Amino acid sequence: MKPLDIDADQRVVGPFELLARLGEGGMGVAYLARALPLEGLGDELAATYRMTESDGGADSAEDRLVVVKMIQPGLLNGQPQALERFDREIDAVRAVVSDRVPALIAAAPPQSLQPWFAMDYIAGPNLHTLVTKTGPLAAGPCVALGLALVDALRAIHGVELLHRDLKPENVVLGPDGPVVLDFGLAVLAERRTSQALTKPGEAWGSWPYASYEQLHDFQSVDKPADVYALGAVLFFALTGRAPYPTQPMLTPPDWNGVDAAFLPLLGQILVPGAGHRPDLGSVDMGLRAVLVQLGLTPEHAAKQLGTLVEAAGLTPELPPEALADHADPMVQDLAQKAVDAGAAPDAPWAGDGIVDLPDVDPGFYGLVDTDEIEWAAEADAAEQEEQAVVPEGYTPTLVDPALAPGEPPAGVAPPHGQTPGTAPLPTGQPLPSPRPAGEHPPSTPRALPRAASAVAAELREAYAHRGTL
Provide the annotated active-site residues: 165
* Integer Cα distance of 332 and 75 in angstroms: 32
Report DSSP letters for 383-444, one per residue. HHHHH-PPPTT--------PPPPPPPPTTPPPPTTPPTTS---PPP-PPPPPPPPPPPPTT-
> Other C-beta atoms within 10 Å of 411: how many?
7
User: Are the beta carbons of 232 and 239 closer than 8 angstroms?
Assistant: no
> DSSP state, 193?
S
Under 8 Å CB-to-CB from 105, ≥6 apart: which residues? 35, 51, 52, 64, 66, 118, 119, 120
Report DSSP letters for 74-135, one per residue. GGGTT-HHHHHHHHHHHHHHHT---TTSPPEEEEPPTT-SS-EEEEE---S-BHHHHHHHH-
Residues paired with residue 68 on neighbouring β-strands, in sequence order: 31, 118
Sheet hosting strand 65-71, strand order edge to edge: 12-13, 16-24, 28-35, 65-71, 116-120, 104-107
Longest dimension (CA), the chain: 81
* Integer Cα distance of 128 and 166 in angstroms: 12
* Integer Cα distance of 3 and 24 in angstroms: 13
